[in-house]
Structure 1
Amino acid sequence: MLYVKAPAKINLTLDVLYKRPDNYHEVEMIMTTVDLADRIGLESRHDGQIKIVSTDNFVPDDHRNFAYQAAELLRNTYGIKEGVTISIEKQIPIAAGLAGGSSDAAATLRGLNELWNLNLSLDELAEYGAKIGSDVSFCVYGGTALATGRGEKIQEIAPPPPCWVILAKPKIGVSTADVYGGLKLDGIKHPNTKQMIQAIETNDYPLLCASLGNVLETVTFKLHPEVVTIKEQMQRFGADAVLMSGSGPTVFGLVESEPRVSRIYNGLRGFCEEVYVVRLLGERNPLA
């Protein structure tokens, strides 16, 4: 059995520039990985089947699963005869704006590259990732990056200043399609992506906190007022900066001071079941 780590991501910025002719949105976002990860196990099968086994009953075990699609894509492209059992130990919440499914697919691509001796580079694996979902290319690389296009064009940047990250997810799932569908591009406040890159490259934590921004917040806040409550409480409990990740509903807070972390964690646990305290990873993934 080959094991591969599949870390979650958060968006430090998420900007939508315009709707493209192909119906995707042109985005500009800065993403970074955090130390909350699923564990993917890969084991060869001799019957040619792709089988998904998961610790979470809500994870689909057929072609709807991104990890399944990743295995199928590599098998078909390279004429691989053997099958694979993909076991997914879930730690990342589902439909949470943390790219759990995309990261599972990316880890499957990296792992099968080794298991099936394909000798593909991260760049080549990221190209396959783009065929599966918008966040998969970023998740192949991990680390910290500026993502453009529909999210598949990846430009590596330096790791952000180290800090604690508190993640809180209410008991709801959010449809990314619904959120993008409800976005009105007129009059939205765009985050300052260049300023965020400057903050990261100069290791300026206060500027990083001041530069967080996500244009999808307003849409998700209208659909799910409980997300607003979590953001407000996290601010009240003393996080340095707070933002919703992706299309939500997970909200994250950045905290530099360790003593404040437990106070915020305990405060949130009073009304939110899924709360995690993690660190920023910031560094790129190894090949497998």
Structure 2
Amino acid sequence: MSPVISHPRPAAARHQFDELSPITITVDCPAKTNLTLEVGPAHDEWGGRHELDTTYCAIGVYDTVTATAKQPGAGFSLELEGAYLGDLASSRSDMRRNHAVLALFAMAQAAEREPDVALTITKRIPVGAGLGGGSADAAATMLAVNRLWELNWPIERLRTIAATLGADMPFCLTGGLAYGTGFGERITDIAPGSRDELALIEQGFSGEVLVGAYQSQLSTPEVYHTFDLVGAAEGDRNHLQAAAISLHPRSGQAIDAATQAGASHAFVSGSGPSVVAFAADEAAAQRIIEVWRDTAVVDRIIRAKSPEHPNISVRQ
């Protein structure tokens, strides 16, 4: 099933250019998780968003966005494909509110041109899972359009635009490891081989990453609303974990099972319900996989690496 939407633009608003670019840009953008996520008070000036202090990590589960220029005035189109579309496949889903489309509009406004672009998104990151799939799609779209339109804008300029769209999107533009502050949009990259990266490795955030995914989804606003009521559990590095588990108890069962099987870390990813477990070696990874399968505390198991980065390719 591939939902498709087209949005033509008025003739008077068309951006004229001499030649239609034959180039197709493909961006593979990884999912994100939060190694730590401290949640502070909500701020009215941020539209009610909470203050965050987080450590981002990009993990190797990828959505792919393909962008191709369309004829002037044709407007945008969006096609979704993949086995795990979740609510995105619903006939009630407004594709014009899709994160990738909003990113395309934001880039078009900043570049003062029309969004005459065909987008195709191949979904592999579970939807509504706390893994930043929508943010990855938006970031991939921005990277693709930046190349497609030959804007050559630096990452900092793209991050400024991305920050108007969502908390995780500025991080997803580069992936890897980074600190996030503000409502998550202020990014400080952690360089490979740096003291901060080595400290994370020493803490056990290394080796293979296992993602326990679910068919069900959690609404991020609902998780934050629950957090406002129940707060964070003592010792949780992710302050949203207790709220997510209260709404989706199987996540807590998966964390307990992974921990008992020898995971160096196991936690709810972001606002959940996905669970991320770090395994120091292949033997530990196999134990976690076996216990998750035997106890049926997750619906799907994804093996990944970290930290990962977006990959851009160009096709004539």
TM-score (norm 2): 0.79
SS in 2 for 1:214: coil
1:214 aligned partner: 238
Q: Distance in 2 between matches of 1:179 and 1:12?
A: 18
Q: Structure 1 unaligned runs (5+)? A: 192-211
Q: Distance in 1 between matches of 2:230 and 2:124?
A: 37
Q: Distance in 1 between matches of 2:178 and 2:41?
A: 21
Q: Check the 8 A contact 1:189/1:215 in 2, yes or no.
A: yes
Is 1:15–2:38 an aligned residue pair? yes
1:147 aligned partner: 180
The alignment-based identity, stated in percent, is: 30
Q: Check the 8 A contact 1:53/1:61 in 2, yes or no.
A: no
Please give the root-mean-square deviation of Cα atoms over the aligned residues, in Å: 2.1
Aligned mate of 1:265, from 283, 289, 312: 289
Q: Check the 8 A contact 1:227/1:251 in 2, yes or no.
A: yes
Q: Distance in 1 between matches of 2:139 and 2:58?
A: 13
Aligned mate of 1:180, from 224, 228, 233: 224
Once the two structures are superposed, what CA deviation does each residue of 1:159-183 show, in whole Å capped at 9, x if it has no partner?
4434111100222101110111122
Shift of 1:225: 1.1
Q: Distance in 2 between matches of 1:287 and 1:127?
A: 20
Q: Distance in 2 between matches of 1:240 and 1:82?
A: 45
Once the two structures are superposed, what CA deviation does each residue of 1:212-269 show, in whole Å capped at 9, x if it has no partner?
7101011111111111111111122221211111000011111111122123223323
Shift of 1:185: 7.9
Q: Distance in 1 between matches of 2:177 and 2:229?
A: 26
Is 1:28–2:28 an aligned residue pair? no
Q: Check the 8 A contact 2:210/2:302 in 1, yes or no.
A: yes
Seen in structure 2, the aligned counterparts of structure 1 residues 218 and 187 have a Cα distance that, compared at 3 Å, is: closer
Q: Which runs of structure 2 are paired with 1:225-240 in the superposition (5 Å)?
A: 225-240=249-264
Shift of 1:285: 4.4
Q: Distance in 1 between matches of 2:138 and 2:218?
A: 20
Q: Distance in 2 between matches of 1:55 and 1:69?
A: 18
Aligned mate of 1:43, from 68, 88, 96: 68
SS in 1 for 2:151: coil
Which letter does structure 1 place at the counterpart of 2:288?
Answer: I
Larger Rg, first or second structure (1 or 2) = 2
Q: Distance in 2 between matches of 1:266 and 1:189?
A: 28
Aligned mate of 2:113, from 67, 76, 80: 80
Q: Check the 8 A contact 2:181/2:187 in 1, yes or no.
A: yes
Q: How many residues end up aligned between the 2 structures?
A: 267
Is 1:106–2:129 an aligned residue pair? no
